[in-house]
Amino acid sequence: EDIPLELHKVRMVQKLYLVPIERRLEAIKDAGFNTFRLSTKDVYLDMLTDSGTNAMSDNQISAMLRADDAYAGSQSFERLQEAVEEVLGKKYLLPVHQGRAAENVISRTFIKPGNVIPMNYHFTTALAHILENGGKVAELLHDEALILHSENPFKGNMDIAKLEACIQENGVENIPFIRMEASTNLIGGQPFSISNLMDVRRVADKYGIMLVLDASLLGENAYLVKQREEQWKENSMADIIKMMTGLADLVYFSARKLSSSRGGGICTNRRDLYSKMEALIPLYEGFLTYGGISVREIEAMTVGLRETLDETMISQSPNFIKYLVETLDKHGVPVVTPPGVLGAHVDAMSFCSHIPQTEYPAGALAAALYLISGIRGMERGTVSSVRDENGDEILADVELLRLAVPRRVFTLSQIKYVVDRVVWLYENREMIGGLRFVYEPPVLRFFMGGLEPT
């Protein structure tokens, strides 16, 4: 059997509990059938997200002890700036408390009501901030990107013809920037190729439009470029990452994902762009040398950023995901292929083909899997979508149950437990019923919304 190997050892552990099914039933009812609202006391394998849950290295933890606790001019921040310049190749850095805070600052600075933001695909928080500032998104993936079971190595690529058409249609003056998201999260953690990013850059240059890169999942996108894009096979992670960030005017990231700690940042080599955003940092985040992040976390970010260049480290999660996806696929469970990053993604619309999309198949599947296994996944479908101006549901393009595999957290036997339970549920899928909202928050409803069986 082709199994992934752990190239690290466990030196600190946290006890897990596998509570009985009766307790799990109570817990999921109390949580409004929304896995975000479960307590980890009731969760065996927490596969909700990799955000802030990747394991940290010995070097990260030890760096946290030398943090320089200064309100202004902290040396910890200076060390972070150096790492950002070294790894991401950008001189100017604005620290923010997490990824969506970067999206807030960028959206407020550059978006005017009526603007359109072309992008490969939206992420929930990026979309929320664009809408909040009166903008709209134009999602320009190739049509094949939404074929869930496929062999297309770069489903995160932008369709260049669609980009040209979008610019022609909306006018350059209404497009403040083009957004590319590394390892396109909501379609199953699917990467874009460097050649595609170069094509996007060419169009951006032709029209004088700024290119913004969401680098939250950049390390894994770079790793998959090395695996899948012929021209980059022999290059180092450092070369590939620098190449990608070099093509963007503005790079932002959630450090909760990129470097396995907390925080986030916006970086650029353009002083003019930096200056436009600068004033918003003290207003919303904190002083310019900490941006709402604890200095200890800044030290962990700094080390984590450099570790992103270590192929042994960065390959761990994609290799475990590959094993999980390929094993589920062999058992006939509908999953997104090729295996992407962040987690395995189950195609809930096929899995629960008896549940109409208006009854949230991915949400229903997430709740059912928790009930029968104690595994907590995340709904990435219509529950995570929004309503239009008339209050009607915008049905998601894809209904996915995401089973996140944070870096260096789970063992292979735990992954095998996941396979066993998902396969069992697939064989008994007709037991799963649909859901409807009983409590629906107006913004980012999936976080705290409550549902009940239909």
Q: Residue 201, exposed/middle/buried by CB under 10 A (0-12, 13-18, 19+)?
A: middle
Binding footprint of ligand F0G, residue count (CB under 6 A): 17
Tokens representing 379 are 């709904």
Cβ closest to ligand F0G, residue 264 vs residue 361: 264
Smallest gap from residue 387 Cβ to ligand F0G (A): 21
Binding mask 33-52 for ligand F0G (x = CB under 6 A): ----------------x-x-
Cβ closest to ligand F0G, residue 226 vs residue 256: 256
Kindly indicate which of the ranges 20-28, 249-257, 318-326, 386-394 contains the residues binding ligand F0G, using the contact rule CB under 6 A.
249-257
DSSP string for 393-431: B---S--EEEEE--TTTS-HHHHHHHHHHHHHHHHTGGG
Beta 264-268 vs 343-347: how paired, if at all?
unpaired
**Binding residue for ligand F0G (CB under 6 A) from 216, 308, 319, 337?**
216
**Binding residue for ligand F0G (CB under 6 A) from 34, 125, 157, 327?**
125
Kindly indicate which of the ranges 172-180, 241-249, 252-260, 276-284 contains the residues binding ligand F0G, using the contact rule CB under 6 A.
252-260
The values of phi and psi at residue 369, to 5°, are: -65, -40
Beta 378-380 vs 400-404: how paired, if at all?
antiparallel
Smallest gap from residue 98 Cβ to ligand F0G (A): 3
CA–CA distance, 393 with 358 (Å, rounded to integer): 8
* Contact status, residue 374 vs residue 43, Cβ threshold 8 Å: yes
Orientation of helix 160-170 relative to helix 194-207, angle to 10°: 20
Tokens representing 108 are 């407020």
Tokens representing 323 are 């094993």
Smallest gap from residue 241 Cβ to ligand F0G (A): 16
**Binding residue for ligand F0G (CB under 6 A) from 33, 121, 123, 323?**
123
3-state secondary structure of 55: coil
Smallest gap from residue 48 Cβ to ligand F0G (A): 7
Q: How many helices (H) and strands (E) does the chain have?
A: 19, 14
Judged by CB under 6 A, does residue 120 bind ligand F0G?
no
Judged by CB under 6 A, does residue 254 bind ligand F0G?
yes
Cβ closest to ligand F0G, residue 375 vs residue 432: 375
Smallest gap from residue 254 Cβ to ligand F0G (A): 3
Tokens representing 448 are 């705290």
DSSP state of 56: P
Judged by CB under 6 A, does residue 240 bind ligand F0G?
no
Give the footprint of ligand F0G on residues 147-206 (CB under 6 A).
Answer: 181, 185
Q: Residue 77, exposed/middle/buried by CB under 10 A (0-12, 13-18, 19+)?
A: buried
The alpha carbon of residue 394 and the mean position of all alpha carbons in its chain are separated, in whole angstroms, by 21
DSSP state of 227: H
The residues annotated with a catalytic role in the active site are 71, 123-124, 214, 257, 380, 446
Beta 45-46 vs 136-139: how paired, if at all?
unpaired
**Binding residue for ligand F0G (CB under 6 A) from 264, 363, 381, 406?**
264
Residue partners of 26: CB distance under 8 A and separation at least 6: none
Q: Residue 71, exposed/middle/buried by CB under 10 A (0-12, 13-18, 19+)?
A: exposed
CA–CA distance, 296 with 299 (Å, rounded to integer): 5
Smallest gap from residue 425 Cβ to ligand F0G (A): 22
Smallest gap from residue 169 Cβ to ligand F0G (A): 26
Smallest gap from residue 194 Cβ to ligand F0G (A): 18
Give the footprint of ligand F0G on residues 87-106 (CB under 6 A).
Answer: 98-100
**Binding residue for ligand F0G (CB under 6 A) from 28, 217, 258, 277?**
217
Give the footprint of ligand F0G on residues 279-308 (CB under 6 A).
Answer: none
**Binding residue for ligand F0G (CB under 6 A) from 256, 296, 322, 445?**
256
Cβ closest to ligand F0G, residue 203 vs residue 342: 342
Kindly indicate which of the ranges 108-116, 127-135, 250-258, 325-333 contains the residues binding ligand F0G, using the contact rule CB under 6 A.
250-258
Cβ closest to ligand F0G, residue 265 vs residue 374: 265
Residue partners of 383: CB distance under 8 A and separation at least 6: 34, 360, 362, 363, 435, 445, 446, 449, 451
Residue whose C-beta lies closest to ligand F0G: 99
Residues that bind ligand F0G (CB under 6 A): 49, 51, 98-100, 123, 125-126, 181, 185, 214, 216-217, 254, 256-257, 264
